[in-house]
A = this chain, B = another copy of it.
Amino acid sequence: MKRREFMKKAGFGLTAVASASIVPSALRSQETSLPNIKWRLASSFPKSLEIIYNGAEVLSRRILELTGGRFEIKAFPAGELAPPNGVLDAVEKSTVECGHTCSYYYHGKNKAFSLDTAIPFGLNARQMNAWCYYGGGLALSREFFAKYNIINFPGGNTGTQMGGWFSKEINGLNDIKGLKIRIPGFGAEIFSSLGAIVQRDMASADIYPAFAGGALDAAELVGPYDDEKQGLYKVAQFYYYPGWWEPEGRMAFYVNKGQWEQLPASYKAAFEAASAEVDALMLANYDAWNPSAIQRLVQKGVKLRRYPDDVMKAAYNTAQKIYTAESSKNPDFRKIFDSMHGFQRTSDIWNKMAENTLANFMQSLM
């Protein structure tokens, strides 16, 4: 593969130029007029979700360093510039220049947004990166986001999430019937189809009292490090795994297209490089801090439970029906999903071989 083709596949399309030899002079000619630029970033996250929220702070710091302090992005937590699920609108309308959010918050507008974050039984974190950068995924999702006047950048990942907090054990499919669970998006559709009573939009702050008052039997959150701080183990002692509706959980940076186009090439490069760095660091951060958090939770009396096989299988089959139905009526969804799904099939075969055989061997020794 030629270098130009490699660069293109590597997702450098926005700022890449034709050959290395013309870069220096092209960029130098702009340098005499590099502007001071101040942007605001609307985060969908509170500061208490520190690993995720800090993604925006790390982005901001790195861009300041890279641009000699000229390009300053100030991050604001959820609610200050936009509500958590209002970042898409705010960036689309250029109320703010950029945001940090989860695209599946906009599932209600178009279910194709969920493909940018996570779908049940979909790609894991490494597969998501591989598909985005070298499997055409980022190009496809950018085509979709262009309809909203937005350029999207991968902006962090949680890895596979946990499967939620339950006040009673789930021993099989029958126990899902009538279960009162708080869960959004495709996960909600699957649980609903399996007979659960689903709360899609309950605010985080309302979850704990809802458990205490009996209005909830179960709730999905994130993973051990974030969940420990919420304290749900005091009202729901069973902690299920795996979070099959989030095999990974990807954040995204959104940039208003008009604002982006006004940036000098070196500032665009700074945003791209810094967001790629945040994307990798956030996953590393979760991978480093979740292991001790799960141990602390167990010490506090939390009981770990694996989802029963019949629940997993029924959920998987329901997910495939939902994807087929959505694909038949939503061309945005179909186009991205088909690419993602095709990628996953061959990727899963390869992962089963070297990566997972070794992981299973290591874990068999514990």
Residues of A that sit less than 8 Å from B by CB: 1, 3, 6-7, 9-12, 15-16, 20, 23-28, 30-31, 34, 50, 54, 57-58, 60-62, 64-70, 72, 121, 124-127, 129-135, 159-163, 223-224, 241-244, 247, 265-266, 269-270, 273-274, 276-277, 279-281, 283-285, 287-292, 294-295, 304, 306, 312, 316, 343, 346-363, 365-366
Determine the main DSSP class of A at the interface with B.
helix
Is B280's CB under 8 angstroms from A68's CB? Answer: no
Report B-chain residues with C-beta under 8 Å of the C-beta of A284.
126, 129-130, 132-134
Q: Are B290 and A350 in contact (CB under 8 A)?
A: yes
The listed residue (B273, B287, B349, B351) touching A129 by CB distance below 8 A is: B287
A280 to B156 Cα, complex, angstroms: 12
- Is the beta-carbon distance between A357 and B306 smaller than 8 angstroms? yes
Give every chain B residue within 8 A of A62 (Cβ-Cβ): 12, 269, 273
Contact yes or no, A266 B65, CB < 8 A: yes
Contacts known (A28-B70, A60-B20, A160-B354); A287 close to B6, Cβ less than 8 A? no
Please name all residues of chain B whose beta carbon is closer than 8 Å to the beta carbon of A20 when the two chains form the complex.
60-61, 64
- With contacts A28-B68, A66-B270, A363-B348 taken as known, whether A242 is within 8 angstroms of B133 at the C-beta atoms is no
Which of chain B's residues have a CB closer than 8 A to the CB of A366? 348-349, 352
Q: Which of B72, B353, B363 makes the CB contact (< 8 A) with A304?
A: B353
Q: Which B residues touch A31, using CB under 8 A?
A: 68
- Which of B64, B67, B354 is A241 in contact with, Cβ under 8 Å? B354
By beta carbon, the residue of chain B nearest A1 is: B50
- Identify A276's interface contact among B50, B161, B276, CB under 8 A: B276
List chain B residues, Cβ under 8 A from A161: 354
Contact of A126 among B28, B125, B343, B348 (CB under 8 A): B125
Residue from A54, A66, A265, A348 whose CB has the most chain B CB atoms within 10 Å: A66
In angstroms, Cα B363 to Cα A163, docked, is 19
Contact indicator A244/B361 (Cβ below 8 Å): yes
Q: Is the CB of B346 within 8 A of A24?
A: no
A7 contacts B358, C-beta separation under 8 Å: no
A288 touching B134, Cβ below 8 Å: yes
B residues near A223, Cβ cutoff 8 Å: 354
The minimal Cβ–Cβ distance linking A279 to chain B, given in whole angstroms, is 7
7 A-B pairs with CB atoms under 8 Å apart are A27-B64, A126-B283, A133-B281, A133-B288, A242-B355, A242-B358, A273-B273
